[in-house]
Amino acid sequence: MKVLKFGGASLKDKAAYKETIRILKTEKEPKVLVLSAIYGITDWLETTIRAARHSEQSIENTTTRIRAWHAKLLTDLVSDPTMIADCMNELEERVQKLERLLYGLAYTEEMTPQLYALIMSFGERLSVILSATIFQAHGIPAQYLESDRIGIVTNDFFTSATAILPVIRKKLPSHVKPLLEKGITPLITGFFGANKDGKVTLFGRNSSDYSAAVIAHGLRADSLEIWKDVDGFMSADPKLVPESTLIEKLSYYEAAELSYFGAKILHPRTVEPLIHDSIPLIIRNIYRPDIPGTEICANEIVKKTIIKSVAYNKNISVLRIKGPGVGYKPGVISEIGTRLATCGINIYSIITSQTCINLLIDRKDSKVGYKALQVLKDGLIETIEHCDDEVVVAAVGAGLKQTPGLAAKIFNAIAAQQINIEMISLGASDVATYFIVKDPCLIPAVNALHTAFFANVKK
């Protein structure tokens, strides 16, 4: 049995749905589908939540648009009036609940992570209801399941939850297997689960890839296919490097590093639930189902030129914590970590010396993180800076740590462009080396590295 995930772009409009339906019809194996919200809906919900805290004006506008958008897809793709009416009723029931929650928020002006998670889950709830009817109308027996009701149990972090895999493995199959036995394709909501008290928790923005992997783990699937509107992982971002090529195979760890470094193909946590049973993950393009895409599995292939991809992340900031003895102070890193964690800030990476601790964090967290650490200035810590004009560039490939001369090749390529490197991390990961440069150096740095490692590779 396979798990197939279709993201918002695969459910965007009539044309995308038609491709998705074509793929489902050619698939003979029993399958479980995990779906995102229809393209753009989660963004609308997020914007409305922000606005609703201060005024109720935008609520009606959003719910009207959400109704209209789902109704348009339904009538574009289904012709049977009874099916349309039944589906509209079910959608309407959810939209009314969503509306009530948004008005509740506007009246109380109080936003809790719990309420945020609940409201944000509606995009996926509407999407599976709509998609079940559309697929049925095209001859695919389908039934939707909402992930907070079928044992997708998580911890209590409402906006960045982690799945509790052993519990899911115990609970989920009893909800899914009876449908499969009857030849029905279950359509499960991505993006959210519920804590042990049944309260909705989100896995974070763009996390339905991770949901799909959690579900693949829970059902001991033979494989997970993630269908996108791109071919798969590339040797570099094609927008920056037009001659970049598709990568056919990656290991779990290579894919995780590439995702962390901003290749927006996959949610960075997707491989976690797959590693235990070596469930292979394949990324495919709905518009080009004939090409194989990128396969991600436990096998590590060492290429002759080692580097498989050059990635970058523009959304980072560096917090620099300086002082003559920061390296001596016991517990300083844990104190920094705790202070940032209480503000919900995730540290991507730490590079330290005796006199300076450099933290890589998300750029949106820069100011809050900077403020949160001010209390630590105690003599040993003298200054804290936040640098918001730097980017991280990474070279990823198995064998990188063991290959002599590789660092020289990377940094010679950068030096030849007269680019100054602000910081380097080498050897922390077995499969990735990364460094930091100023924003304007991004494009020349990525291109220089790509040329150094791929100049002779044919498309």
133 vs 207 by CB, closer to Mg ion: 207
Interacting residue with ligand ASP among 3, 6, 8, 332 (CB under 6 A): 8
Which one of Mg ion, ligand ASP, none is in contact with 191 (Cβ closer than 5 to 8 A by kind)? ligand ASP
201 vs 251 by CB, closer to ligand ASP: 201
- Pairing relation of β-strands 383-387 and 316-322? antiparallel
Interacting residue with ligand ASP among 143, 159, 206, 355 (CB under 6 A): 206
Which one of Mg ion, ligand ASP, none is in contact with 207 (Cβ closer than 5 to 8 A by kind)? ligand ASP
Q: Which residues of 297-319 are buried (b: 16+ CB within 10 A; e: fewer)?
A: beebeeeebbbbbbbbbeebbbb
| Stretch of 31-39, 226-234, 250-258, 421-429 lying at the interface with Mg ion (CB under 5 A) | 31-39
With CB under 5 A, what is the number of residues at the site for Mg ion?
2
Q: How far is the CB of 202 from ligand ASP (least distance, A)?
A: 8
Q: How far is the CB of 207 from ligand ASP (least distance, A)?
A: 5
Question: Distance between the two ends of the chain, CA-based, in angstroms?
Answer: 34
Q: Distance between CA 208 and CA 187 in Å, rounded?
A: 13
Alpha helices by DSSP H, 146-296: 165-171, 173-181, 208-218, 252-260, 272-275
8 vs 262 by CB, closer to Mg ion: 8
> Residue holding tokens 């990474």?
394
Q: How far is the CB of 153 from Mg ion (least distance, A)?
A: 23
Neighbours of 245 (CB within 10 A): 17
Interface with ligand ASP in residues 183-202 (CB under 6 A): 190-191
Q: How far is the CB of 137 from ligand ASP (least distance, A)?
A: 24
The angle at the Cα of 238, spanning 397 to 393, to the nearest 5 degrees, equals 45
3-state secondary structure (DSSP) of residue 54: coil
The angle at the Cα of 293, spanning 241 to 190, to the nearest 5 degrees, equals 105
158 vs 434 by CB, closer to ligand ASP: 158
Sequence-ordered list of residues with C-beta below 8 angstroms from that of 32, at least 6 positions apart, any chain: 1, 2, 3, 4, 176, 180, 185, 186, 188, 215, 219, 221
With CB atoms as reference, the residue minimizing the distance to Mg ion is 8
- Pairing relation of β-strands 185-189 and 142-145? parallel
Integer angstrom CA distances of residue 21 from 286, 402, 415: 10, 46, 50
Which one of ligand ASP, Mg ion, none is in contact with 136 (Cβ closer than 5 to 8 A by kind)? none
Regarding 208 and contact with ligand ASP (CB under 6 A), the answer is yes
Q: 3-class secondary structure for 336-354? A: HHHHHHHCCCCEEEEEECC
Q: How far is the CB of 152 from ligand ASP (least distance, A)?
A: 14
Q: How far is the CB of 71 from ligand ASP (least distance, A)?
A: 20
DSSP for 247-260, written as a single string? --EEEHHHHHHHHH
With CB under 6 A, what is the number of residues at the site for ligand ASP?
12
Regarding 8 and contact with Mg ion (CB under 5 A), the answer is yes
Interface with ligand ASP in residues 121-140 (CB under 6 A): 123
Regarding 36 and contact with ligand ASP (CB under 6 A), the answer is yes
Regarding 193 and contact with Mg ion (CB under 5 A), the answer is no
Q: How far is the CB of 43 from ligand ASP (least distance, A)?
A: 7
Q: Which residues of 78-97 are buried (b: 16+ CB within 10 A; e: fewer)?
A: beeeeebeebbebbeebbee
Regarding 205 and contact with ligand ASP (CB under 6 A), the answer is yes
| Stretch of 24-32, 206-214, 273-281, 321-329 lying at the interface with ligand ASP (CB under 6 A) | 206-214
Neighbours of 279 (CB within 10 A): 24
| Stretch of 34-42, 94-102, 193-201, 214-222 lying at the interface with ligand ASP (CB under 6 A) | 34-42
159 vs 352 by CB, closer to ligand ASP: 159
Write the burial class of residue 396 (CB in 10 Å: 0-12 exposed, 13-18 middle, 19+ buried): buried
Regarding 123 and contact with Mg ion (CB under 5 A), the answer is no
Regarding 190 and contact with Mg ion (CB under 5 A), the answer is no
Q: What is the contact surface with ligand ASP in residues (CB under 6 A)?
A: 7-8, 36-37, 42, 123, 190-191, 205-208
Give the interface with Mg ion as residue ranges (CB under 5 A). 8, 36
